[in-house]
Amino acid sequence: MSLVGHLDLMRLFDRVIRRAGLPITFTGGFHPNPRISLANALPLGATSSGEIVDFELTQIVDIENFRQQLEKALPNDIPIYNVVELDLKAPAATQVLEAAEYEITIAAIEQIPPAQWQHWLGTIKAQPEIWCEQTTKSGKTRSVNLRDRLFELELVEDSTSIGDYAVTLRYLGSCRNDGTLLRPEQILFMLEEITGGEFQLLHVHRCTLILRE
């Protein structure tokens, strides 16, 4: 699944919902599309413990029946963990998405003791501001305080258990679809700003998406 892009996944759900014969709603206009939306696009190359998808139907369908029909049409290696019925007036997941929890595996250029990693992470969390220059779609450059977008940060596994100078960090950061999000690459940026060293991002795993209640 890490090699399946966001658009490919959307096409998969489009075909699956048609194959299952479920009464999906379509958009208007000259090119109607099924009303299917993922809460947040998963970066290509990243893995995930589970994603959130909204399906808007033209009529009420029993939850268990919906789940069974969808499971029959989906590939075996794409499981369904939970199905929830929402009112049509309820906001979409894309509108109430607040944060995301990630585990990222990164490598340093040399062996770093766990105590040093803990010190670096503590230094990041102690900073009120860590600024980064970002370029908007229009080509304009703006400064962003990444520290405001970081909620939690901790060491999960050190290099003694992973090897090759690698560690796994867990972080909880902002993940809103208005552009206020903290990407895994920006954790490396903060580390490099604090330490003056260089790091390589080896793997990204999204543990969970958190919606505003």
Quick check: 175 pLDDT over 80? yes
Quick check: 161 pLDDT over 70? no
Report how far residue 157's alpha carbon sits from residue 118's, in angstroms, rounded to the nearest whole number: 11
Quote the pTM value.
Answer: 0.91
1 within some domain: no
| Phi, psi angle pair for 40, to nearest 5° | -160, 135
Quick check: 206 and 46 in contact, CB under 8 A?
A: yes
Predicted confidence at residue 130, as pLDDT, reads 97
Predicted confidence at residue 22, as pLDDT, reads 95
69 & 155 share domain: no
Q: Confidence class of residue 29 from pLDDT cuts 50, 70 and 90?
A: confident
The stretch 82-97 carries a mean pLDDT of: 94
Residue 43 class from Cβ within 10 Å (0-12 exposed, 13-18 middle, 19+ buried)? middle
Quote the domain boundaries for residue 70. 6-90
The structural domain count of the chain equals 2
37 & 81 share domain: yes
Residue listed under structure tokens 């959130």: 52
Instruction: Give the pairing type, strands 53-55 and 150-157.
Output: unpaired
Quick check: 163 pLDDT over 70? no
The stretch 79-99 carries a mean pLDDT of: 94
Q: Confidence class of residue 162 from pLDDT cuts 50, 70 and 90?
A: low
Distance in Å from the first CA to the final CA of the chain: 29
Written as one letter, the residue type at 24 is I
Residue 3 CA: distances (Å) to CA of 6, 46, 159 = 10, 8, 26
Q: Between 120 and 28, whose confidence is greater?
A: 120
The stretch 33-44 carries a mean pLDDT of: 94
